[in-house]
């Protein structure tokens, strides 16, 4: 489909959803005890943004073109600002992994729990008009995407911040 589909022309539910989710998620980061260094915090937040950008710019542009983001097919300034919403979720995913000591076999249900959280947030985002599915795309198709992203994030975090990497040689 060429052209620009306009879904909405007002500042309303989809923008407020992005603002609300972002503010609430960052507020909890600010309120709860700090457990990460500034490098770890930046790493986890940037992973959230980077994964959001890469996946959205893979799935919502041709040849796939499976959904639109925001008020219209064309990108608007607010659409780019919405990627900030992904930052705290990268942080929270690793925060609770460390805080709850989710090691060994507990990793599997932990990742599945976060996939469920991501699917729930995406479902709400669809309902308020942040995402507009096209070409038969359905929420369940996001399951393997989130499963891959969260598993990759955890592997990257564990590799980058493995204890032995930061020890000085004797």
Asked if pLDDT for residue 20 goes beyond 70, the answer is yes
Query: pLDDT digit string (tens) for 121-160?
Result: 999 999 999 999 999 999 999 999 999 999 999 999 999 9
Query: pLDDT digit string (tens) for 159-170?
Result: 999 876 656 655
Place of tokens 């620009």: 4
Between 60 and 143, the higher pLDDT residue: 143
The predicted structure's pLDDT at residue 29 = 94
Percent of the chain whose pLDDT exceeds 70: 95
- DSSP for 106-121, written as a single string: GHHHHHHHHHHHHHHH
Distance, CA of 170 to CA of 150 (rounded, Å): 35
Q: Are the C-beta atoms of 88 and 151 separated by less than 8 Å?
A: no
Helical packing angle, 142-160 and 38-59, nearest 10°: 150
Domain boundaries, the chain: 13-162
pTM of the predicted structure, to 2 decimals: 0.90
Asked if pLDDT for residue 48 goes beyond 60, the answer is yes
Biggest CA pair distance of the chain = 63
Number of Cβ atoms within 10 Å of the Cβ of 139: 13
Detail the DSSP E strand segments found in 4-152. 67-69, 131-133
Give which of 98, 95, 70 is closest to 5, Cα–Cα: 70
């Amino acid at each position: 489909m060429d052209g620009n589909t306009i879904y909405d022309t007002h500042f309303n539910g989809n923008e407020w959803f992005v603002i609300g989710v972002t503010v609430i998620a960052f507020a909890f980061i600010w309120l709860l005890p700090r457990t990460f260094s500034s490098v770890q915090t930046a790493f986890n937040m940037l992973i959230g943004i980077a994964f959001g950008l890469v996946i959205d710019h893979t799935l919502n542009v041709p040849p796939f073109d499976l959904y639109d983001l925001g008020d219209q097919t064309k990108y608007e300034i607010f659409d780019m600002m919405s990627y900030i919403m992904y930052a705290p979720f990268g942080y929270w995913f690793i925060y609770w992994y460390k805080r709850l000591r989710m090691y060994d076999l507990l990793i599997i249900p932990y990742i599945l729990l976060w996939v469920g959280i991501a699917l729930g947030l995406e479902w709400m985002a669809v309902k308020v008009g942040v995402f507009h599915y096209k070409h038969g795309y359905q929420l369940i198709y996001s399951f393997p995407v989130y499963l891959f992203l969260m598993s990759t994030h955890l592997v990257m975090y564990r590799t980058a911040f493995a204890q032995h990497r930061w020890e000085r040689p004797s």
